[in-house]
Amino acid sequence: MTTAVPDPNAMLAALREGGHENLPDVDIRVGAGILDDAIAEVCGRGGMPAPVIISDGGPYRTAAGPVVDRLAKKLGCPVIQLGTGTVRADEETVERAVAEVASSRLLISVGAGTLTDIAKVTAQRTGSRHVAVQTACSINGFIADRSVLVIAGAKRTVVSRWPDMLVADSDLIGAAPPGLNLAGVGDLSTVPNAVAEWQLAAGLGHGPGYDAAVVEPVLAAMPALPALAQAARDAEPAGLADLARLLAGSGLSMGIVGSTAPASGTEHAVSHLLEMAQSQRQQPAAPHGMQVTVATRLALRVWQLVDRTVASSTTQLRVADEAASRDAVALAFGELGSKTVEECWTAYSKKRTWLLEHLADVEAMVARWDAFKKEVTLPTPEEFDDISHASGLPTRAADLGSSYDDRLLFWALRNCHLLRERISIADLADLLGVWSDDTARSIVDDSENG
């Protein structure tokens, strides 16, 4: 591999030397055959509370045997099994986990990203310590102090707790289905778009200020994605370890700035809506990293729409009136239920109010659009496709499964800006007056046929 993948521990050290404060004290262990020794070490530390394993019931194993059973026997500790291979990260499941943990413990979570999200919230609410055992390279969220929960039917990112230790054993990760590890490559491929949208929002004064130091090492490693994808398909230990390191670096960036902005833009909002719709339909969702890859192809085309509009139009920016905005949210999410409509309206109305109060800042951004675009590192759709094709990542709705089609993609793209409070490139298209059914459908058609 010619492109260096940053070591997350080295990233933290460099940030400390650079003057960053309030960085997490998290112990990141990555390598082959490290699981048992890492767990034994943390359990042997003085003052460590009694351990308990929390699992989603997945069949996780290495050459030494089933991981959960082996650890439970060695530690003589109970196992809280929340599922039979999968779990849903909703308040009901979190409350069950909190009730079963009951008091301050050493939580050892063994499971996928959703299980880890539940464990991080449970650790926070019970005052527990936490060791996150990564079972696949599927997402970048194993390490971040953020968790994605389903609240009132809507995907929401909440503050949770940094793990005390992250264990990414490539022997265990290599036993995961190759598609799950490839999904982690997909999750990383979206970072340039997410960072560009972070720069857009920060340039307007919305959300956390842009901090290049926390994302530059991850951005610099983007050329390594095809090689990491090959390692995921081949279950090659050294390559999987590098993939785990890069995912951890991306996860660190979110926690350090106190927002998912360094790794989550329009493409993640689209993916959240796809998952919400699939849950409503009782259909299985494709891996998160696969969904966001397809959604990034849409987001990059929204940037092109904004570029064309800014270059050719003198249209005055506008914010739709409150009644029209509320109607739009109700129309978009009505089939998901009234609680979801109210949850989304609460978030979107805060953004709408902020935009009304800062319309002059948006106008100033549009006036200097050419200069702003020179500050961002954003691939064209064609450049993104080159990486996707070289990595074997999905590009179209049909690649995600039989229950996905261009109508579902259209619905998710058209309404992604109504889901949450974060400002996105779709919000700017809406303010410019060019975000409509026709433009969203045109973008989906171009992406599906391109």
CATH no. for residue 396?
1.20.1090
Please indicate, yes or no, if residue 386 is contained in any of the structural domains.
Answer: yes
Please indicate, yes or no, if residue 76 is contained in any of the structural domains.
Answer: yes
Strand order through the sheet with 27-31: 27-31, 165-169, 129-134, 106-111, 51-55, 79-81
Average pLDDT of the chain, as a whole number? 95
Q: Which of 399, 379, 225, 231 is nearest to 299 (CA)?
A: 379
Indicate if 183 and 268 belong to the same structural domain.
no
How many domains in the chain? 2
Q: How far apart are CA 247 and CA 234, in angstroms?
A: 18
Indicate if 189 and 98 belong to the same structural domain.
yes
Please indicate, yes or no, if residue 251 is contained in any of the structural domains.
Answer: no
Q: What is the pLDDT of residues 39-50, one digit of tens each?
A: 999 999 988 999
Q: What single DSSP character describes residue 90?
A: B
pLDDT at 22: 86
What is the span of the domain harbouring residue 428?
Answer: 260-449
pLDDT at 1: 55
Indicate if 295 and 443 belong to the same structural domain.
yes
Domain boundary among 177, 193, 209: 193
Q: Quote the pTM value.
A: 0.95
Q: How far apart are CA 201 and CA 391, in angstroms?
A: 30
Indicate if 291 and 407 belong to the same structural domain.
yes
Q: Show the tokens assigned to 393.
A: 């990542």
Indicate if 271 and 185 belong to the same structural domain.
no
Indicate if 175 and 265 belong to the same structural domain.
no
Q: Which of 233, 140, 112, 227 is nearest to 179 (CA)?
A: 233
Banded model confidence at residue 105, pLDDT cuts 50, 70, 90: very high
Helix, strand, coil shares of the chain, percent, nearest 5, are: 60, 10, 30
Q: Which helix (H) or strand (E) holds 159?
A: strand 154-159
Residue 157: strand, helix, or coil? strand
Least confident of 107-111, 155-159, 362-366: 155-159
Asked if pLDDT for residue 2 goes beyond 60, the answer is no
Q: What is the pLDDT of residues 258-276, one digit of tens each?
A: 999 999 999 999 999 999 9
From its phi and psi, is residue 113 left (phi > 0), alpha (psi between -120 and 50) or beta?
alpha
CATH of the domain at 87: 3.40.50.1970
Domain boundary among 193, 210, 232: 193
Domain boundary among 193, 212, 230: 193
Indicate if 175 and 306 belong to the same structural domain.
no
